[in-house]
């Protein structure tokens, strides 16, 4: 019998920033290297707008490390597992839904396993795209900056 996977919900365990007062969110840029050496990243659709793409991200909770949070979000939202690399950086951004400034951290995640079923599969689409396509389609400036940092690391082939 397969284990039932569910996405965490609620805000009881959320971490909040001492700097901004808003939630601390953690995300990742899932990637794979094809046989021809080209790198693809995995984008997911927004739950609200199917044509908007983004990277998995969500609240960092008190009972997990920052890289555990990044890996959990990748599994819940995109249905992938993998290994995180060094942080791509920290960004402060205004929530689109709440009057709050969030503090966000992004990590590269080398995908090792793509699941057939995952908690948010009914709410999101996922697709493998080039970094350029992801950059052109992602409306979140801070995720685009994280992707630029990811591309820089690809060029130097360090920390991935």
Residue 33 lies in a domain: yes
pLDDT at 3: 46
pTM of the model: 0.88
Task: Using the CB atoms, write b or e for 82-106: b if 16+ within 10 Å.
Answer: bebbebbeebebeeeeeeeebbbbb
Residue 8 lies in a domain: no
Residue 16 lies in a domain: no
How buried is 160 (Cβ within 10 angstroms: 0-12 exposed, 13-18 middle, 19+ buried)?
middle
Residue 106 lies in a domain: yes
CATH number at residue 48: 3.90.79.10
Residue 114 lies in a domain: yes
Number of structural domains in the chain: 1
Range of the domain at 79: 24-156
pLDDT digits (tens, 9 = 90+) for 8-55: 565 678 999 999 999 999 999 999 999 998 999 999 998 877 677 999
């Amino acid at each position: 019998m397969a284990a039932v996977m569910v996405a965490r919900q609620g805000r009881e365990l959320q971490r909040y920033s001492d700097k901004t007062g808003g939630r601390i969110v953690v995300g990742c840029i899932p990637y794979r290297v094809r046989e021809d050496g080209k790198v693809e990243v995995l984008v997911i659709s927004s739950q609200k707008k199917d044509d908007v793409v983004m990277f998995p991200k969500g609240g960092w909770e008190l009972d997990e490390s920052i890289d555990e949070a990044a890996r959990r979000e990748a599994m819940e939202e995109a249905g992938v597992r993998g290994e995180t690399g060094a942080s791509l950086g920290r960004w402060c951004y205004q929530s689109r839904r709440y009057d709050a400034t969030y503090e966000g951290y992004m990590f590269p995640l080398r995908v090792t396993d793509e699941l057939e079923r995952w908690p948010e599969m009914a709410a999101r689409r996922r697709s493998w795209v080039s970094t350029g396509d992801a950059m052109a389609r992602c409306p979140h400036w801070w995720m685009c900056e994280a992707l630029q940092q990811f591309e820089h690391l690809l060029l130097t082939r360090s920390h991935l």
